[in-house]
Structure 1
């Protein structure tokens, strides 16, 4: 599948490393989805995944960094009705694609709260890709139109 390029860019948004900006970002993406008439499954997958990924960046990405936080979100139109959302930040290097799936607990009492965001993204997205380029994390979330 072709990677997002400058020519496939629909829109972009710069946000701060603040919890309040997560709602701003998902609202922006929802407005794009509405304007572009994305299928509900595509919209849900991307909004949920962006919220999970951005929460991780805001919560942990700048904890051990002296950098002034920069976070950019790009939305790209790909062939065959697919949509890519790329989250770019200058936080500490972190590749979420290397995180192992959580173990299934033996009982509800053994279940752990939290730590399931990446698994949710893997479940709802067509693909999840990471690259570290020029001192920045590039996380690309791709959702496609259902067959």
Structure 2
């Protein structure tokens, strides 16, 4: 997905590839939510999803490479009261949308910790879209901000 269809770019931020930088990104998004008047559910969906996606990029996207990390986040206003947040990074190719739903364990003892971030994103977002453009991963999170 190059430019979100018929969207208007609202804001961008570049963040580092450290766990501490995730707070900067979610803070930026929270400020946009306030400025744009998003409903609480939209704000929650996008902040949670961005935090999950960015945690994966920071934790795994540059492991074993000598690439200088570059992470950019864009916020787009879309038609019909929707909003898109696009996470762009130059890490190793990784399509989180290809991850299968986790298997429901038979018991709490069999439950696995972790690996549920993509499932949460699918639950709270309208759409989750991935593309690889040149040397960049582009993950687009879309939520309805109409209320």
Q: Which range, TM-score by smaller chain?
A: over 0.9
Structure 1 equivalent of residue 15 of structure 2: 15
Deviation at 1:12, TM superposition (A): 0.3
Structure 2 equivalent of residue 114 of structure 1: 114
Structure 2 equivalent of residue 134 of structure 1: 134
Deviation at 1:5, TM superposition (A): 6.2
Please identify runs of 4+ aligned residues in structure 1 that moved more than 2 A: none
Q: In 2 relative to 1, CA 36–146 (structure 1 residues): closer, same or farther, beyond 3 Å?
A: closer
Give the distance between the partners of 2:88 and 2:113, measured in 1 at CA: 27
Deviation at 1:145, TM superposition (A): 3.3
Give the distance between the partners of 2:94 and 2:115, measured in 1 at CA: 15
For structure 2, which runs of at least 5 residues remain unmatched after alignment? Answer: none
Give the distance between the partners of 1:134 and 1:80, measured in 2 at CA: 30
- Is 2:57 the partner of 1:69? no
Structure 1 equivalent of residue 98 of structure 2: 98
TM-score, normalization by structure 2 = 0.95
Give the distance between the partners of 2:126 and 2:77, measured in 1 at CA: 14
For structure 1, which runs of at least 5 residues remain unmatched after alignment? Answer: none
Moved more, 4-13 or 125-134: 4-13
Structure 2 equivalent of residue 50 of structure 1: 50
Give the distance between the partners of 1:97 and 1:91, measured in 2 at CA: 16
Give the distance between the partners of 2:38 and 2:31, measured in 1 at CA: 10
RMSD between aligned alpha carbons?
Answer: 1.7
TM-score, normalization by structure 1 = 0.95
Q: Is contact 2:82-2:145 (8 Å) kept?
A: yes
Give the distance between the partners of 2:42 and 2:75, measured in 1 at CA: 13
Give the distance between the partners of 2:5 and 2:80, measured in 1 at CA: 15
